[in-house]
Amino acid sequence: MAESAIRDYATGRGFHRQTLERWLAWEAADQESLQEIAVSLKISENHLRDMLDWLEEISLRDVTKIHEILCRPAVLSIKTDPRLGRADKLKRIKEQLRRWRFPRLAAVEERIQLKIQALKLPAEIRLSVPPGLEGGRLRVEFSAGSVAELEELTKRLNAAATTTWTTEIFDLLSGQTTEKVQGQS
Amino acid sequence: MKHLHFDEVIVESGSESSPIYRNLRRTLGHLSFKVVDGIGTERVTSERGDRFGAAKKTLYLARHRGDFLKKCPGSEGQVCCNYFVINFASNCPMDCSYCYLQEYLADNAALKVFSNVNDLIDEADRTLARHRGVFFRIGTGEITDSLALEPYTGMVREIIPYFAEQPNVLLELKTKSDSVDGLLDLNPKGRVVVGWSMNPQKVIDLDEHGTASLGERLEAARLCQEAGYRLGFHFDPMIEYPGWESDYQTMLEQTFATIDWRKLSWLSLGVLRQTPGLKRTMRERYPKSDLLTGEQVLCPDGKFRYFQPLRVEMYRKMVRWIRRVAPTVKIYLCMESREVWEQVFGFAPACEKELGNQMAPEVQQPIHA
């Protein structure tokens, strides 16, 4: 039942043969659980490939079935949340799967975000870190509409640079505190 | 290490005059030798669908066309150690689950040894003689294991006497085998480093199929050190798993209890790296391997590595454990960015020549066994 529906879905969206074969190599219950999400959220091939990767790898690492992962309460609550549109549901389900697939990376990223928020910088200053934290650098962007505003923003940045929050952000980026995160996860 | 098993040897016509042919005849005389007119890109078939694995069962002896000596390609954007490579064989008889050759040689998987060893020496001689002011570090383990086939081919035994006489070279033989018997009665004159790729026994058992055990590698290293060879150890690829710290510390303790670290030429560190293509191949060939589940992210050079804070922490720990015993041994990172070097060591080499030169000065004078 699921197999023909999956074939139809993949063909209709022009999926690559390897993607389809990989999906169909799963057990029937696993195939079906992903098919239900794929159809309802109209998942494109690139997103689906990410999900195939992460689900297979979580399943292998945690010795669990893929359909069991997709039936966890965290996924179900996103799927059934009436406030969320299709794109938001897909985004959140992928974020959740990524958190399960990369628990320590996600924990470090979340800790960095918390510290960035704690700096309480104005909206004109944006701090961000690279995807996957690769490169280990903090990106700082800001824009000003006048000399006075620029002076004010640089003052705020200077003040932020000397806080322990900022020191801890760089510690996290350079693996100084990965051990602590590992201990907590 | 277990003996290798081949089904047959296929010889390209014209290679029968090579010393490698003579050695193969002597060591694999019980096998069928088939002489053929030409060997191209061999398409190996396999009933089980594992063409790459099946390719390791037939040994080809063929003439190498093209250059033997090349600059190591390194990895885009990463700090390079200014290394050169000589490829005297293609593919490897062992079968590590993470091996990049599974992707790199996917369309040319035949296990080949090159017969024209004199051409190799002539080419090396032209380059080394023309650039006497340049110090060359040359490796032979880029697309094969340097020593795994040595008991059969005697290739390294053919080339060591030439390299031992050169004033501006260090030849590195990189291996996961313990096949050193044929080297021990030669005098390397300080020009040959035997380098072992090292991992804890647990990793060897799970992912380094057909290789020598940790104990066998260390015993072979000890024998080589006694015979006057320089040694290198490559803790690469380091694998992160629950309990890795204890296993790697134990491995380091065993290593330094077996060999004299003061005579080590270098140690390198590198974490598991996979391209997306290699990961696809690993999924097919080793679908249950835990190596597929590490917290690896795609880096700018197109390779998956453990996310940076995690691998920096791994490197720092390894450096700390090594320094405790061997405070002055040279350690470098393989295929890592300047940022990672900075985070691990507090500096990054200014350029590839700087790193290469750091490895070279101590070998300007021959060592004495």
Give chain B's mean pLDDT: 91
**Among B183-197, B255-269, B301-315, B337-351, the least confident range:** B337-351
What is the pLDDT at residue B368? Answer: 40
CATH number reported for the structural domain that contains residue B248 in this entry: 3.80.30.30
What is the pLDDT at residue B41? Answer: 55
Beta carbons of B295 and A137 less than 8 Å apart: no
What is the pLDDT at residue A178? Answer: 54
Q: How far is B239 from chain A (nearest CA, A)?
A: 15
Closest partner residue to B308 (CB to CB) among A58, A60, A134 is: A134
Give the DSSP H/E element, type plus range, for residue B265: strand B264-271
Beta carbons of B288 and A179 less than 8 Å apart: no
What is the pLDDT at residue B356? Answer: 61
Give the tens place of pLDDT for each residue, B52-71.
999 999 999 999 999 999 88
Nearest to B223 by CA among B169, B186, B189: B186
Domain count across chain B = 1
Question: Which residue is closest to B336 within chain A, CA to CA?
Answer: A135
Strand, coil or helix: B230 = strand
Beta carbons of B316 and A179 less than 8 Å apart: no
Distance from the Cα of residue B365 to its chain's centroid: 25
Mutation target to probe the A interface, by most A beta carbons within 10 A, among B283, B304, B313 is B313
Q: Is the pLDDT of residue B367 over 70?
A: no
Give the tens place of pLDDT for each residue, B112-128.
999 999 999 999 999 99
What is the pLDDT at residue B142? Answer: 86
Give the tens place of pLDDT for each residue, A115-143.
999 999 999 999 999 989 999 999 999 99
Distance from the Cα of residue B78 to its chain's centroid: 19
What is the pLDDT at residue B141? Answer: 80
pLDDT category, A164, cuts 50, 70, 90? very high
Give the tens place of pLDDT for each residue, B89-98.
999 999 999 9
Interchain CB contacts (distance < 8 Å): A and B? 71
Q: Is the pLDDT of residue B45 over 90?
A: no
Separation CA B227–CA B306 (nearest Å): 38
Closest partner residue to B292 (CB to CB) among A57, A136, A173 is: A57
* Residue A15 DSSP symbol: -
pLDDT category, A185, cuts 50, 70, 90? very low
Q: Is the pLDDT of residue B50 over 90?
A: no
Q: Is the pLDDT of residue A1 over 70?
A: no
Residues of B in contact with A102 (CB under 8 A): 295, 297, 307
Q: Is A132 part of the contact surface with chain B (CB cutoff 8 Å)?
A: yes
Q: Is A51 part of the contact surface with chain B (CB cutoff 8 Å)?
A: no
Q: Is A60 part of the contact surface with chain B (CB cutoff 8 Å)?
A: yes
Query: How large is the average pLDDT for residues B337-366?
Result: 72
Give the tens place of pLDDT for each residue, B130-151.
999 989 999 998 899 999 999 9
Beta carbons of A132 and B298 less than 8 Å apart: yes
Structure tokens at B146: 């340097």
Tell me which residue range forms the domain holding B286: 65-93+116-363
Alpha helices in chain A (DSSP H): 2-12, 17-24, 28-41, 45-62, 66-70, 73-79, 86-101, 103-118, 147-161, 164-173, 178-184
Cα angle B100, B105, B106; round to 5: 100
Residue ranges of A 90-109 with Cβ closer than 8 A to chain B: 102-105, 108
- pTM for this structure? 0.91
Q: Are B289 and B355 in contact (CB under 8 A)?
A: no
What is the pLDDT at residue A183? Answer: 47
**Among B159-173, B265-279, B339-353, the least confident range:** B339-353
Query: How large is the average pLDDT for residues A91-112?
Result: 97
Q: Is the pLDDT of residue B358 over 90?
A: no
Beta carbons of B308 and A108 less than 8 Å apart: no
Nearest to B4 by CA among B58, B61, B62: B58
Question: Who has greater pLDDT, B365 or B152?
Answer: B152
- CB atoms < 10 A from the CB of B250, how many? 14
Mutation target to probe the A interface, by most A beta carbons within 10 A, among B273, B289, B307 is B307
State what percent of residues in chain A have pLDDT above 70: 95
What is the pLDDT at residue B49? Answer: 75
Q: Is residue B305 part of a domain?
A: yes
Give the DSSP H/E element, type plus range, for residue B61: strand B58-62
Q: Is A141 part of the contact surface with chain B (CB cutoff 8 Å)?
A: no
Give chain A's mean pLDDT: 94
Q: Is residue B49 part of a domain?
A: no
List B240's β-bridge partners, or say none: none
Q: Is residue B278 part of a domain?
A: yes
Residues of B in contact with A63 (CB under 8 A): none
Q: Is residue B38 part of a domain?
A: no
Q: Model ipTM? A: 0.91
Strand, coil or helix: B257 = helix
State what percent of residues in chain B have pLDDT above 70: 90
What is the pLDDT at residue B359? Answer: 64
Query: How large is the average pLDDT for residues B198-222?
Result: 98
Separation CA A46–CA B326 (nearest Å): 48
What is the pLDDT at residue B110? Answer: 93
Give the tens place of pLDDT for each residue, B276-321.
999 999 999 999 999 999 999 999 999 999 999 999 999 999 999 9
Closest partner residue to B310 (CB to CB) among A58, A131, A175 is: A175
Closest partner residue to A178 (CB to CB) among B300, B310, B337 is: B310
What is the pLDDT at residue A184? Answer: 47
Beta carbons of A175 and B311 less than 8 Å apart: yes
Closest partner residue to B343 (CB to CB) among A58, A102, A136 is: A136
Give the tens place of pLDDT for each residue, B323-334.
999 999 999 999
What backbone phi and psi angles, to 5 degrees, belong to B97? Answer: -65, -25
What is the pLDDT at residue A181? Answer: 53
Residues of B in contact with A135 (CB under 8 A): 300, 308, 337, 339
